[in-house]
Chain A
Amino acid sequence: MSDTALIKLTNVYRYYGDTCALHDVSLEVDKGEVLGLLGPNGAGKSTTLQIISGNLAPSAGQVWVNGIDLLDKPKAAKAGLGYLPDQPPLYRELTVDEFLTYCARLNRIPVAQRRVALDTAKQRCGLTEVGRRLIGNLSKGYQQRVGIAQAIIHSPPVVVLDEPTVGLDPLQMREIRALIRELRREHGVILSTHILPEVQAVCDRVQIINRGKLVLNDTIEGLGRRMQHGSSLLIAVRQPPSEAQLAAVPGVEQVESLGEGRFRLHHLLDRSPAEAVVERAVSEAWGLYELVPERLSLEQIFVDIATSDSASSAEAA
């Protein structure tokens, strides 16, 4: 554990009545890092981020933001924090400029630097053209950008984004992701999402959260390695052989027919029967035209972890 972490949660619990929303969550985010918090609906992602942003008090545990204890010195800690909740907090009756100026004031940006801060934030979020428009009249995508702009206007070391790309079209999503990658240079970013490709696109590290518990903490490369450890081949042939013939190929453990000459061949890890299948296909003239080693998607890892976790907790109970 490093002391330089921008965000540090240790053994955080959060109860809503009898429901335990967060169970012993500890995490860290360093400077120059984007941490993705991943989990199904109701897993506790938003609760975690609300706690980091000071909008919710934890039932137990400690939170440091920018090296300052958030519970002890909330004002000092919050000075180094920008937060975008899952629903962007916008005053619809204000113009973009008015709203961002207000946010700049609230975050105690000195008068002299306010203009610059405003322009920088607008420029980074692509809002330069819409400064004088009413927020209520902007499209959802632009509103989301205004939400991000208010979170970064005071250049906080810590940026907390709750589902930043929800409701955006693919083009806007790409822009926002580019922005997040850019933020990484100067800030530590933590974001939550349930969109898996997003994690792969922008995050350096992933923590999967399920039922209030952290169940996986890995880097994107680590996840990538896990993903390559697929254990099945997908083949398509013109003259389909019988399943028994396929099962007879050395290395094939199980055959799954997908119809129209497509099969999924399960095999043991690191023992791909690809070569044997090709040889057999040629010698027996199956007319093989497709052979794809299936890579485990993040989704599968996610589902595996989520289900295995609930299975193990069921065993424990």
Chain B
Amino acid sequence: MIAHIAAQEFRRLFLSPLAWTVLAVVQFIIAYFFLSAVDNYLLWQPRLAAIEGAPGVTDLVVAQVYGSSSLLLLFAVPLMTMRVISEERRAQTLAVLFSAPLSMTEIVLGKYLGVLGFFLVQVALIGVMPLSLLLGGGLDFGMYAAGLLGITLLVASFIAVGVFMSALTAQPTIAAVSTFGILLLLWIVDWAGQARADEMSGTLAHFSMLRHYEVLLKGVVNSADVIYYLLFIVTFLILSVRRLDADRLQH
């Protein structure tokens, strides 16, 4: 049943030109990142070759591209998640789901997975790009995979926030703006007190999505980082379910 809603959501996303535009624009910009990263690498390569244990092509190109993609996705995700529930609330189509034999959890999960499916396409497109480097050399596949895992988890967390924000309102634009606000805040939350190495800054760093992502980009798959993202996703999905439930109880 969840699969039906997810499939429907996925298909409806592709019925709007927005999805295609987002895919195309994001892909184009990332291609540009990729190109400039490769260019830089070629420039430094002779000098790097002289240094023992110098960062390789995976560090300098793949991690670089993943890193900048994450920021781009920070912009793209709110655009795709904003309508997922709020638009239905505004058009009053939620009644179809509410009067069908479905639980709120199924509805939220279906919607979530539908959007996730779209971004997995996006991530796959991003992931394919570095593979072109195989034409002229080798890649550190462990690191490549860790980065891919990182970006997938990151996007999955972004979407969870987006779905929740969309569940809060009937205005897609409000959902988009607030999703973007929260994501950006969580991205830079460790900036405060970065200079001081006290307990507070450590806690803030732990909440930062960027910190956990950077670890994965270095090729280190730490269960703590993975769990951070999973907890993040589950929390926001539960909040969304509760919010939808509250629709019936509205006062």
Contacts and interface: CB of A to CB of B under 8 A. Distances in A.
B12 A91 contact: yes
Contacts of A56: 248, 250
Contacts of A160: 99
A89 B91 contact: yes
B251 A107 contact: no
Interface stretch (A74-82, A192-200, A206-214, A235-243): A74-82
Given A106-B4, A108-B1, A93 B16 contact: yes
Interface residues of A, number: 32
Given A75-B103, A91-B12, A106-B5, A53 B96 contact: no
B92 interface: yes
A5 interface: no
Nearest to A56: B248
Interface string B239-251: 0000000001111
Contacts of A90: 91, 93
A57 interface: yes
In the complex, which range does the number of interface residues on chain B fall in? 20 to 34
Contacts of B16: 93
A54 B244 CA distance: 13
Interface in B79-114: 91-103
Contacts of B102: 75, 78, 106
Given A17-B251, A78-B102, 12 more contacts: A16-B250, A53-B99, A55-B95, A55-B98, A55-B248, A75-B101, A75-B102, A83-B99, A102-B8, A105-B4, A106-B100, A160-B99
30 contacts: A16-B250, A53-B95, A53-B98, A55-B94, A55-B99, A56-B248, A57-B248, A75-B101, A75-B102, A78-B101, A79-B101, A81-B99, A85-B95, A87-B92, A89-B91, A89-B94, A89-B95, A90-B91, A90-B93, A91-B12, A93-B12, A94-B15, A102-B4, A103-B96, A103-B100, A105-B8, A106-B1, A106-B5, A106-B96, A107-B101
